[in-house]
Amino acid sequence: MKLSVIIPCHNVTGQLSPLVRSLQGNLRDDFEFVFVEDGSTDDTLPTLNRLVADVPGARIVRHPVNRGLSAARNTGLHSARGDYLSWLDADDWIGPGYLEQLVRAIERLGCDFVRTDHVRVTGRRRTVVRSPETRRNLVLAPRTAIGPPFRSTSVDYSAAWAGVYHRRLADRGLLDFAENLHSCADRHWNWRVHRGAESFATVSLLGVFHRHGIPGSLSELNDPRHLHFLDAMTMVLTETAADPDAHLLLPKAVDATCALINHHVSKRSRLTPDLQRMLIERSVDALESMPSAVLDQVLAQGSPRRRTLLTRMLRNPRSLSAVA
């Protein structure tokens, strides 16, 4: 089997048809599509059974109860048989011939993984989103694409579905997702892949159409899982601090964490008062756990607005009272 595409599905009955239709334009005898039905409570399973009956290479693996996106991705990963591995979200779709172009790219370049651009779909609007890595069609050491701090880099482009990965990374344990993370798992995963893989490339290939801002999605809800970005980045910081190149990589990890804290705290009015308080308390804990010299450097060299907010949090977190 050449390529396995892993597609977790949970309560996506009304969104499966565009995806399955798009797979029809990407068939090959040596491609398989592993749908992981993650304990849905709607008609996702019967809908899948009906739609994939006409998709050669499609099969369904089922979780009797909902276990979350990371667990579903891992189940698909461990069931996949392809030399190359890729992921899709069930509410997205792909362009005709995209998967064949993806496989050709990684075979031509001979690297551990390849990242691509994508198209963001917001209602009827389409926006091209480019990977921050501007060196295209060149095989690079992934560690060189982690830094520098204070600008967007390859580790900030965290979508697992924007690329393809060689099976040897799975054999080394680099492609499993952290199942304790119910949001932001891609970010931790992407950092680990960049630290652990030996080679990668970025290509200017557009083929994934990713839905953004869907009503009812986690990003639109008041949900404690919003705060899992702190768990994810704490794992990134801990693992990066233990890396032999920590002195080179840790400033970027601290900067990325500070950027996320700044983003979420600045937009905290969308959350309930209890979640706002929890966000501030846990953000302060995360900041205080960082190496002080690196944090001071990041705050000093980062944007003045971010420096003002995070310094205020550290000195007087009660001043950032919950916004009703």
Range 179-184 average pLDDT: 92
pLDDT of residue 85: 98
Look over the chain and give the mean of its residue pLDDT values, rounded to a whole number: 94
Vertex 8 angle, CA 6 and 14, to 5°? 125
293 in the same domain as 174:
no
**Widest distance between CA atoms in the chain:** 61
Polymer length of the chain = 324
Among positive and negative, which fits the CA dihedral 9, 4, 74, 263?
negative
226 and 180 in one domain?
no
Those residues whose C-beta lies under 8 Å from the C-beta of residue 152, and which sit 6 or more positions away, are 132
pLDDT of 191 higher than 90? yes
* Mean pLDDT within 171-197: 96
DSSP character for 123?
Answer: T
Final residue before a domain boundary, out of 200, 218, 236:
218
Is 8 inside any structural domain? Answer: yes
In contact, 135 and 84? CB cutoff 8 Å: no
Per-residue confidence (pLDDT) for residue 217, from 0 to 100? 53
Q: How many CB atoms lie within 10 A of CB 221?
A: 12
Strand 118-122 and strand 125-129: the pairing is antiparallel
What is the mean predicted confidence (pLDDT) over 196-209?
97
pLDDT at 220 over 80: no
> What local confidence, expressed as pLDDT, does residue 218 receive?
52
314 and 288 in contact (C-beta within 8 Å)? yes
- Domain span at residue 277 reads 222-319
Co-location of 194 and 233 in the same domain: no
Q: Assign 23 a pLDDT band (cuts: 50, 70, 90).
A: very high
Query: Measured between alpha carbons, how far is 154 from 138 in angstroms, rounded to an integer?
Result: 14
CATH code where residue 108 lies: 3.90.550.10
- The structure's pTM equals 0.94
**DSSP, residue by residue, 30-81:** TEEEEEEEE--SSSHHHHHHHHGGGSTTEEEEEESS---HHHHHHHHHHH--
Same domain, 173 and 118: yes
Last residue of a domain, one of 161, 183, 218: 218
pLDDT band with cut points at 50, 70 and 90 for residue 214: low
Other CB atoms within a 10 A radius of the CB of residue 63 amount to: 18
pLDDT above 90 covers what percent of the chain?
A: 89
Q: What pLDDT does 322 receive?
A: 56
Q: Are residues 171 and 247 in the same domain?
A: no
Average pLDDT over residues 40-49: 96
Looking at residue 226, its pLDDT comes to 83
Q: Are 118 and 126 in contact (CB under 8 A)?
A: no
Tell me what pLDDT residue 221 has: 55
What integer is the mean pLDDT of 151-177? 97
What is the secondary structure of 124-160 as a DSSP string? Answer: TEEEEE--S---BS--B-GGGGT--TTS--GGG---T
Residue 203 shares a structural domain with residue 269: no
Q: Which of 170, 197, 218 is the C-terminal boundary of a domain?
A: 218
Domain assignment present for residue 324? The answer is no
Residues 6+ apart with CB under 8 A from 305: 262
